């Protein structure tokens, strides 16, 4: 089982001037990106949520998507775990007219990339930062481009799940609820 996005709370210094509703919106789209793209490649999502946490004396917001099992290719794992959240967050910033170099830096998801790299490394899959990919491996720039293409293609589903996550009283959806909202048939 993998849990994505257990990272530093969105209330540390780099987010100090970002209004809470925009932080929550970014997190909801980030988690919806993981959830929708993961379910589309056959992964079983248990839960997707945004919530408060405290770390190192700082209380803030974060997100988490929990998986019971996963399927797909190594590229699917890299896209779902490592790049889809950031790609969805970037897409919602662009669509809302708030994408700038600064806001793009704020939604960088190095924690997701590191998790994906750990999974791939454990499987013996070599990864480079940019193409061409090593034999039997991946280039991270290709992973990000693929995630952006998939997010663009599935934007309506991602938006439906993100908006439902924001409307949920506890900012939590089960994987079954998310799949139903997105119109995804799960096994």
CB-based contacts of 120: which residues, under 8 Å, 6+ apart? 74, 77, 78, 127, 138
Nearest 5°: phi and psi at 143?
-60, -50
d(CA 33, CA 108) in angstroms, rounded, equals 14
Query: What DSSP element (H or E) covers 138?
Result: strand 138-139
d(CA 140, CA 83) in angstroms, rounded, equals 9
Give the pLDDT score at 48. Answer: 96
d(CA 77, CA 38) in angstroms, rounded, equals 8
> Which is higher by pLDDT, 42 or 3?
42
Give the pLDDT score at 12. Answer: 44
d(CA 112, CA 123) in angstroms, rounded, equals 17
d(CA 185, CA 19) in angstroms, rounded, equals 36
Give the pLDDT score at 49. Answer: 96
- Report whether the peptide linkage leading into residue 150 is cis, meaning its omega lies within 30 degrees of zero: no
124-150 per-position pLDDT tens digit: 999 999 889 999 999 999 999 999 999
d(CA 138, CA 2) in angstroms, rounded, equals 21
Task: Indicate the pTM of the whole model.
Answer: 0.90
88-132 per-position pLDDT tens digit: 999 999 999 999 998 888 888 888 999 999 999 999 999 999 889
Among 37, 38, 27, residue whose Cα is nearest residue 5? 27
155-183 per-position pLDDT tens digit: 999 999 999 999 998 999 999 999 999 99
Query: What DSSP element (H or E) covers 38?
Result: helix 20-40
d(CA 64, CA 28) in angstroms, rounded, equals 10
Give the pLDDT score at 14. Answer: 52
């Amino acid at each position: 089982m993998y849990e994505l996005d257990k990272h530093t709370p969105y209330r540390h210094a780099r987010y100090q001037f970002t209004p809470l509703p925009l932080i929550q919106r970014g997190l909801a789209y980030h988690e919806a990106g993981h959830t929708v793209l993961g379910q589309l490649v056959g992964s079983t999502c248990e839960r997707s949520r945004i919530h408060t946490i405290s770390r190192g004396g700082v209380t803030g917001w974060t997100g988490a998507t929990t998986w019971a099992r996963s399927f797909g290719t190594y590229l699917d794992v890299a896209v779902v775990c490592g790049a889809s959240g950031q790609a969805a967050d970037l897409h919602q910033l662009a669509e809302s007219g708030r994408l700038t170099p600064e806001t793009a830096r704020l939604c960088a998801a190095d924690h997701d990339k590191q998790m994906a790299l750990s999974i791939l490394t454990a499987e013996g899959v070599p990864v480079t930062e940019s193409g061409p990919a090593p034999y039997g491996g991946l280039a991270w720039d290709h992973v990000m481009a693929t995630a952006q293409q998939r997010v663009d293609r599935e934007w309506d589903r991602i938006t439906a799940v993100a908006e439902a996550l924001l409307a949920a009283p506890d900012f939590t959806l089960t994987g079954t609820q998310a799949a139903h909202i997105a119109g995804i048939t799960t096994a």
